[in-house]
Structure 1
């Protein structure tokens, strides 16, 4: 029984230990233990009792197999969803970056828009955004100041 469990565990794709069903243990026992007068030695009156546990063991095996299939399918779906999410995040980041660049240019030429954009960024910070946000605001202010200085000089 232990040899068979070890063999099945080594063949298992998930690496989890395999426990044999009662039916499988009974079959191994019947194959290995000698018979006398058509009866398996060492199990007493069990020879005369129908094997109710065998069908229970098979049912449990079927349930385990089904649960493993479902687990594998959920694992595959989870991996696919992670890839889709990463792709969507990447596309979103690229689009937001482009929009930020556009707003940067527009706000550099208009003090009202520059003020509006700065307030909008303060009121609605982007999660996970680091100091690049502060640098972007400083760039907008500097560019705006330079633009208006140049306009006033001309």
Structure 2
């Protein structure tokens, strides 16, 4: 008997889809991996039992610029991923106004997606709204992670 809850399976599917979207979509991603669009689509579909292989998940997260799939897997195991900051690999820099603008815009996108979804459906979110909100939250998380990394890189 599986020990993974159905909601956790759906969360993995959502993280997979978010990683694909952040990485430029399925059609562009297929050229960077060993898997075609049809199978990639199955890995993100809640209506399919196939899950993304670990090597493809790593490629997807690299392309997305953040460990979206791997963070969700770690969360389900009770862990949290943190970026490795190596002083000799990164140029120290201050948090900039551009970082603030990016954070503000990404936050506004999340709020807008949530607001618009509640205008369409009362109670439960429809699948399209859920996907949009998830994508916007992952984009905001990436902006927050970039800002945190900038803060920790300051000499």
Bucket of the pairwise TM-score, normalised by the shorter protein: under 0.3
More helix per residue: 1 or 2?
1
State the TM-score, normalized to the length of structure 1: 0.24
> Which has the higher relative contact order, 1 or 2, with Cα contacts under 8 A spaced 6 or more apart?
2
State the TM-score, normalized to the length of structure 2: 0.24
Q: Which has the larger radius of gyration?
A: 1
